[in-house]
Amino acid sequence: MTKASVPADSPRASAKDPAASVGPRVRALRDAMGLSLRDLALRSGVSAPMLSQVERGETSPTLAVAGKIAAGLELTLSQLLRLDEGQHVAISRAAGRRRSERGGHRFEELTPPLPGQRADVSLHVLEPGATTGGAADPPMHEPGSRETTVVLAGTLALVLDGSRHELQEGDSVTFDADLPHHFENEGREATRFLAVIAAGLRRS
Amino acid sequence: MTKASVPADSPRASAKDPAASVGPRVRALRDAMGLSLRDLALRSGVSAPMLSQVERGETSPTLAVAGKIAAGLELTLSQLLRLDEGQHVAISRAAGRRRSERGGHRFEELTPPLPGQRADVSLHVLEPGATTGGAADPPMHEPGSRETTVVLAGTLALVLDGSRHELQEGDSVTFDADLPHHFENEGREATRFLAVIAAGLRRS
DNA sequence: TACAAGCGTCCGTGATAACGTACAACCAAT
DNA sequence: ATTGGTTGTACGTTATCACGGACGCTTGTA
């Protein structure tokens, strides 16, 4: 009944007013899940007429009900409101990229630190016996950010907030990056792994 | 006067009610910027008493005013609300992971499709002359999501909404994933690349 | 001491968000 | 045609959000 994809009608209708822009998004997500207004009303605890008004942008819901709606869509409110700030393509060339090294730990940022960037990808090489961060470093990221690590070669141990997780080659781990953490290589060969920091909070 | 950091009091106090959790956060951010209630009121266009009530969790602001408050703090509303979604660690083992193949294009999901997942990492291998997606596939993702691709080996061409971008080994590219796009390998050897879908809203 | 200027919060009023109910339009199965 | 069950939306009432104005409070300064 509704266009399930991103509406191409108004190019920059959103951006400024969150209330107006959530509507189409809620509707898109709802019928992407195959839910009726009453279905979502049941799941979210928000009345169906209210949902209708919100979807059409006729009202600006309270954070409370917006949160309920997001929950009904199995999303965080933050996720529901995440409609982008401008489209662009950014290419980061391998040549002339900044490399860092500190005591058996080399790494390289693969993505440019663009404003509005949501995922920061970096490639790490950890020599046998070495650990990331060391002691004095702040080994955690912005509150709310999440890190996904993929082991490309070798073995890796993640120490996260006390507990320890052993990773084999090819394994991946996802965790909240605002907790103190670091990696260790207890193997015999150098370990290569990829780190993805997603959804970090940003200012400026 | 106020704890400047995110309150660690109750483990899952937030998650459900966004309204209650934004309050302390707004206050923390505000006096981190050294602003008074009236300062922020002036910057945001929201009355000072209202700001006070919101900060103390005595009311659940409308998305409209919440957006104004976020703007006054030089944040997007999504960023302002990004302090929830419980903590967990999810490990995806290399063994027993689902692989897919379709005409010269093999790929593998490296991260488990968890609810609330923010970054989806997948490893792709593209044979010479092959393209991803092909013709009938829906080659775009949820509205608002963003994709970062890192070329691990070989060369890769990204066709995004008409325009074409050539990538060398080690290059990375970031773009809005809700635009139609696909990849091509015009080189002589197989290309290995990594795709990170960030801020994707849940699948299936 | 007194004054002024700043702070955060309480008050009363108009605007509106959110609810439950009821309605017209649509489709499948009688 | 006529049901029964959907769908999404219009109506009227209640709850509450959001405002301007006033209050008590702590500062620095005359």
Please tell me the distance from the alpha carbon of residue A92 to that of residue A110, in angstroms, as a whole number. 7
| Statement to judge: residues A51 and A118 lie in one domain | no
Same domain, B115 and B179: yes
- Which CATH number characterizes residue A76's domain? 1.10.260.40
B2 within some domain: no
A7 within domain boundaries: no
Distance from C-alpha of B168 to C-alpha of B189, rounded to nearest angstrom? 13
Q: Are B103 and B40 part of one and the same domain?
A: no
* Model confidence pLDDT, tens digit, residues B56-72: 989 999 999 999 998 88
- Indicate the average pLDDT of chain B: 72
- Give the A window 111-130 contacts with B, CB below 8 Å: 111-112, 114, 117-119, 121, 123
* pLDDT for B175 beyond 90: no
**Is the domain of A75 the same as that of A126?**
no
For the ranges A135-139, B37-41, B141-145, the lowest mean pLDDT is seen at: A135-139
pLDDT the model gives residue B195: 87
According to the model, what pLDDT value does residue B185 have?
92
The spacing between the Cα labelled CA in B22 and the C1' in D19, in angstroms, equals 21
* Across B81-101, average pLDDT: 58
Task: Reply yes or no on whether the pLDDT at A11 is more than 60.
Answer: no
B168 within some domain: yes
Domain-ending residue, one of B46, B80, B114:
B80
Specify if B12 maps to a domain. Answer: no
Task: Give the best-scoring range by mean pLDDT among A99-108, A178-187, B152-161, B184-193.
Answer: B184-193
Residues A45 and A125 in one domain: no
pLDDT, tens digit, 9 for 90 and up, residues B93-152: 655 566 677 778 888 877 665 434 456 788 899 899 888 865 444 445 555 566 888 888
Output the pTM of the full model: 0.53
Residues composing chain A:
204
Domain end: B33, B50, B80, which one? B80
Q: A17, A35, A63, A117: which to substitute to probe chain B, counting the most B Cβ within 10 Å?
A: A63
CA distance A103 to chain B (A): 24
The answer on B129 and B39 residing in a single domain is no
Question: Any idea which of A53-57, B74-78, B136-140, B145-149 has the lowest mean pLDDT?
Answer: B136-140
Q: Is the residue at A92 inside a domain?
A: no
Domain count, chain B: 2
> With 80 as the cut, is the pLDDT of residue B12 above it?
no
Predicted ipTM beyond 0.85:
no
Q: CB-CB: which of B67, B83, B123 is closest to A143?
A: B83
The per-residue pLDDT for A190 is: 92
pLDDT of residue A115 exceeding 50:
no
Contact A62 B60 (CB under 8 A): yes
Are B132 and B191 within one domain? yes
One domain, residues B105 and B192 = yes
In this structure, are B110 and B175 located in the same domain?
yes
Residue pairs spanning A and B at CB distance below 8 A: 233
Q: How confident is the model at residue B48 (pLDDT cuts 50, 70, 90)?
A: very high
Domain final position from A53, A80, A107 = A80
- Owning domain of residue B112: 99-198
Q: Do B121 and A148 touch (CB under 8 A)?
A: yes
pLDDT digits (tens, 9 = 90+) for A180-203: 788 899 989 999 998 887 653 222
Name the band, by pLDDT with cuts 50, 70 and 90, for residue B89.
Answer: low
B18 — contact with chain A (CB < 8 Å)? yes
pLDDT for the residue numbered B1: 33
Chain B residue numbers with beta carbons less than 8 Å from the beta carbon of A122 are: none
Are residues A173 and A105 part of one domain? yes
- Is residue A107 one of the residues assigned to a domain? yes
Is there a single domain that holds both residue B113 and residue B174?
A: yes
Question: Which CATH number covers residue A119?
Answer: 2.60.120.10
Determine the pLDDT at residue B148.
82
Q: Is residue B28 part of a domain?
A: yes
Q: Are residues A57 and A105 in the same domain?
A: no
Is A12 inside any structural domain?
no
B46 is near strand D: CB distance < 7 Å: yes
Interchain CB contact of B168 with A (< 8 Å): yes
